Amino acid sequence: MTKTTLPPPEAHTPPAAAERLPISALLALAMTGFICIVTETLPAGLLPQISEGLGVSQSLAGQMITAYALGSLLAAIPLTIATRGWRRRNVLLLTIVGFLAFNSLTALSSNYWLTLASRFCAGMAAGLAWSLLAGYARRMVAPHLQGRAMAIAMVGTPIALSLGVPVGTWLGALVGWRTAFGIMSLLTLALIVWVQAKVPDYPGQPGRETMPLRRVFTTPGVRPVLAVVIAWMLAHNLLYTYVAPFSALAGLAGQVDLVLLVFGVAALLSIWIVGRLVDRCLRAVVLVSLATFALTALALGLWGASAWVVYAGVAVWGLTFGGAATLLQTALADTAGEGADVALSMNVVAWNSAIAGGGILGGVILEMQGVGALPWAVLALLLVGFGMAWSARSQGFPSGHRASNTAVVGH
């Protein structure tokens, strides 16, 4: 195995600062992720109001989510490559300004097609943001703190899923869906000030140093990690998308919000746990997370009609999922080395494909086999993901401390 020396922190970073976590800057990145998730999912809880406001059916209103996902899928890789030479804070601010502009346009638009276009463009901003955040967090700290830094930078996702979306839905129902999007714009204004004040700036990568897309994709270990991303996230979204009908099996149709809250709280705890372990034993945590989620799916398949089993299963599921973004993005960036930014943009595509695939595959299973078949499909996907992670021992998910393994990202 070829060894690559871990890159030091940025040359202008004081040695003492390199040994500390820049909490305020990392939380600004987490806030960016929070805005990405809430912007994406906010229409889901407001479809009746949006449908009425735009004069379209609820199914057409639901395409606001589809347009956002398509923007992320199509733009992540080309925008990441196009902006690799830019200073990093300028790229981050570009994504935030994108949310400001397109959430504001969504709030003001009375034309359905203009609204879809603004959602597509907001998705483009999200695709660029997701490919940037992990590498940015890693760059702020010394190599041995990179895992913990990423865990903090990713905390916005479970907060958005567990608290942001329900609160946004409640707010939209209270003051109107347009006002809800307007409030998102106000949050981005505050975030712009926060980023300017607290987030350090770094140079981009000169054109002569950039790695082409094909070379990054064929880097040993990159494809196995991306395959695990797809299997794990497809399994997660298969169950998460249809958690309401699945909960109804156990008589919890009226408690879906509480079920999701249990999941979100467990996911937050998971981020803290993973942040403590990711640098020391990334491979072990990935394998344990996949195996535990698989056992949970098995329990839900056998005893999913029990409310207690569902609540316990959802809690364990949250524990295995909360740190997944940190684990997978760390593994991918370490494996890709100098091509980490491009590899992380591929991760955005894989992740969003799994979100879309979970909805489609889950819908087919629901229609053909019924909701009780979902845990068994989840179990099958997790076994595939576990097998791929297990086999990627030398490159992708190596054992031991990260500092003893191959290339770590050098931006």
Specify the higher pLDDT residue, 389 or 258.
Answer: 389
Residues 272 and 344 in one domain: yes
In a domain, 6, yes or no: no
Question: Residues 125, 224: one domain?
Answer: no
How many separate domains does the chain show?
A: 2
Domain end among 210, 227, 251: 210
Same domain, 107 and 144: yes
Residue 142 lies in a domain: yes
Instruction: Answer yes or no: are the C-beta atoms of 116 and 64 closer than 8 Å.
Output: yes
Same-domain pairing of 81 and 190: yes
Q: Is the pLDDT of residue 35 over 50?
A: yes
The answer on pLDDT for 317 being more than 70 is yes
Q: What is each CA distance from 377 to 163, 199, 236, 359, in whole angstroms?
A: 28, 42, 11, 13
**Tens of pLDDT along 107-119?**
999 999 999 999 9
Averaged pLDDT for residues 281-307: 95
Is 63:47 a contact under the CB 8 Å cutoff?
no
Same domain? For 346 and 357 the reply is yes
DSSP secondary structure, 208-277, as one string: GGPPPHHHHHTSTTHHHHHHHHHHHHHHHHHHHHTHHHHHHHTT-GGGHHHHHHHHHHHHHHHHHHHHHH
Q: Domain ends where: 210, 242, 262?
A: 210
pLDDT in tens, 40-52: 878 866 777 888 8
Residue count of the chain: 411
Domain of 259, CATH number, reads 1.20.1250.20
Is residue 5 one of the residues assigned to a domain? no
2 part of a folded domain: no
Same domain, yes or no, for 137 and 249? no
The verdict on 251 and 216 lying in the same domain is yes
Q: Among 191, 210, 229, give the residue marking a domain's end.
A: 210
Judge whether 368 and 361 are in contact, CB under 8 Å.
no
Residue 204 is part of which domain span? 11-210
- Angle value at C-alpha 42, between 75 and 179, nearest 5 degrees: 110
Q: Residue 149's pLDDT is what?
A: 87
